[in-house]
Chain A
Amino acid sequence: MILLDPMDLALAALLVVASAALAWALRLGISRSLLIAGARMVIQLLLVGLVLKAVFDRAELAWIALISGVMLIVAGYEATARQKRPMAGLWSMGVGVGAMFVSAFTVTVLSLTVILGPSPWYTPQYAIPLLGMLLGNTMTGVALSLDRLTQTLWERRGMVEARLMLGHPWSEAVTDIRRDCMRAGMIPTLNAMAAAGIVSLPGMMTGQILAGTPPVEAVKYQILIMCLIMGATTAGTALAVQLACQRLVDGRERLRLDRLRSP
């Protein structure tokens, strides 16, 4: 395995700086966030390297639970941070965290206990990367579907309310919108699954191969992960859309866009 020195990473970082420069030249208004995100990425990954080393040395359930909890909260925050009209108060993050907890955590625990079966089942070398990949992908699905949902309800409020005026039950009045939003959340994972191996060599598999694992073994792991990701993303997206829909309607089936924050 070829070890990287800081100079190698600095060269790669120039690409991020160049992207920021281009974004600035094109007035995209995201140069600052791009640079901050790049800096965050470096610091977070360095820190997590240290944290993982400490956790792998100790392998205690309490520590692993704590780290998982932090990962979940951050995923919930990130999933809702860049939405145009998130739900007001803690609802947006709460829905994101709840949906991801049920989907990504369940799939992680099930795959650890039923499929992989390390001993103990929470062995951090397996649990943490697995949870990380599932949360990462579920986060994208939840973020896309919630953003789409709140945006579409805002833009199409007239249509939703016209259907309510005609006596359509709430669930019927939003059924098309709900479907579109779930689809929007699932498409990135679907694309990744369909293109895996041809268009893209998935990151985990590439990593394992770079680290010296035989390709066929790496591929088997990647297949497992892809299946888990698809399951978790579908469940997470469905749950997030359902919870958000319930929040944006009240007991008398009124559309409650006053529960959204304005941009």
Chain B
Amino acid sequence: MTGNRQLDVADLRVDGLGPIDLCLAEGECLVLSGPSGAGKSRLLRAIADLDAHEGRVSCQGTAAEDLSPSQWRRRVGMLAADSQWWRDRVAEHFDTPPTSGRLEALDLAPALLEGPVSRLSSGERQRFALLRLLANRPRVLLLDEPTANLDPDNVIRVEKLIADYTATGGAAVLWVSHDPLQTARVAHRQLYLEAGKLSQKPAPRPMQDRPS
């Protein structure tokens, strides 16, 4: 079964959170919602192995502790809610510059890449941060409100790029979102996190059943 499972989380506990069990199939997008302070970010951080935790997390059958931390985080890539930059120019944050196709998909002018980070708007930073993460070709994407700073057009562009990425490579997504409309657009499955416990939510209705 592990062949088409991208992420397995078993009995995960991190202070006050859990035990959490979940698994993500190839290409699957699971949207996680819940009140703020419920521990959504902490759950993502624990899966990315940024916080000490108990329990077992594995990607394509390989447990986190069998890989070096940097190998693990390249396979299970997390995108934080606020993007971070540590060099002056945007391009210096990329090992290999993003393809023009991807820049275009997110409506980013290639010239921005050569310019300083300080000239980017917060939405542009957030979109570049996504491209920077995708450049690692992660098998699992942990997205913490990835569209929080974006205007409606760019929200759709980001959703489409992520859908394309998962459809072509089979990567799975664990997506934290507060927006029910976004959840309806992107989720194959939903879970609700409250007081440190996960619970099921009814699956969203398929596209074609929805009134237009």
Residues of A within 8 A of B (CB): 158-159, 161-170, 176, 250, 252-255
Contact = CB atoms under 8 A, between A and B. Distances in A.
A246 to B, nearest CB: 15
Contacts of A158: 80, 82, 84
Interface string B62-86: 0011001111111001111011111
Contacts of B68: 169
Interface in B76-107: 77-80, 82-86
B156 interface: no
B49 interface: yes
Given A158-B80, A159-B86, A161-B80, A167 B136 contact: yes
Contacts of B78: 165
Most buried by A among B70, B72, B77, B132: B70
Nearest to B73: A167
A165 B133 CA distance: 9
B150 to A, nearest CB: 18
B51 interface: yes
Contacts of A163: 84, 86
A158 B48 CA distance: 15
B64 to A, nearest CB: 8
Given A159-B84, A167-B73, A252-B49, 20 more contacts: A158-B80, A159-B86, A163-B84, A164-B50, A164-B70, A165-B78, A165-B79, A166-B73, A166-B77, A166-B133, A167-B71, A167-B74, A169-B68, A252-B52, A252-B64, A252-B65, A253-B69, A254-B49, A254-B51, A255-B50
Given A176-B86, A254-B49, A167 B80 contact: no
B95 to A, nearest CB: 9
Given A158-B80, A159-B84, A162-B80, A167 B50 contact: no
B50 A165 contact: yes
Given A158-B82, A158-B84, A176-B86, A165 B51 contact: no
A162 B70 contact: no
Contacts of B74: 166-167
Contact of A161 (B50, B71, B83): B50
Contacts of A176: 86
Contacts of B132: 166
A238 B48 CA distance: 31
Nearest to B142: A165
A176 B83 CA distance: 18
3 closest residue pairs by CB, A with B: A162-B84, A167-B74, A253-B69
B148 to A, nearest CB: 15
A248 to B, nearest CB: 14
A170 B77 CA distance: 16
A171 B85 CA distance: 17
A141 to B, nearest CB: 25
B105 to A, nearest CB: 20
Nearest to B81: A158
A163 to B, nearest CB: 7
Interface in B7-51: 48-51
B80 A165 contact: yes
Contacts of A161: 50, 80, 84
B96 to A, nearest CB: 13
Contacts of B84: 158-159, 161-163
B10 to A, nearest CB: 18
Contact of A253 (B70, B80, B85, B136): B70
Contacts of A168: 70
Most buried by A among B83, B85, B86: B86
A167 B77 contact: yes
B70 A167 contact: yes
B138 to A, nearest CB: 9
Contacts of A254: 49-52, 69
Nearest to A258: B52
A163 B95 CA distance: 13
Nearest to B65: A252
Contacts of B50: 161, 164-165, 254-255
Contact of B52 (A164, A165, A250): A250
16 contacts: A158-B84, A159-B84, A161-B50, A161-B84, A162-B84, A163-B86, A164-B50, A165-B48, A165-B50, A165-B73, A165-B77, A167-B70, A167-B71, A168-B70, A176-B86, A254-B51
